[in-house]
Amino acid sequence: MGGSAIESAPIDDARTPHELINDSYQSLRKKTAGDLLDRLRSCSPTFFGRVVVELLMAMGDGGVAGHGMVTGKAGDGGIDGVV
């Protein structure tokens, strides 16, 4: 019968299931954060500025209406936007 072999992780009797889940979550979170930072470092300054402005607005900055805009003055080493 065909099929793929499933590798099982070694059982660690010293940790509870909750601790195992939390450790796995933290590991995945750290990996995802690293991957995201790598991708942001490789994008254009214009795109990065837009991401920062949109992130700040999503976090509640920009007043009641959530206004923000990218100013488009790239090349000065700063974030080019107004929130």
SS3 of residue 35 by DSSP: helix
Average pLDDT over residues 25-54: 91
CB of 40 closer than 8 Å to CB of 52 = no
Task: Tell me the C-alpha distance between 28 and 23, whole Å.
Answer: 9
List the chain domain ranges: 14-43, 44-83
**81 close to 68: Cβ distance less than 8 angstroms:** yes
Query: What mean pLDDT value characterizes the chain?
Result: 80
Average pLDDT over residues 8-17: 72
Q: pTM for the whole thing? A: 0.57
Instruction: Assign 9 a pLDDT band (cuts: 50, 70, 90).
Output: low
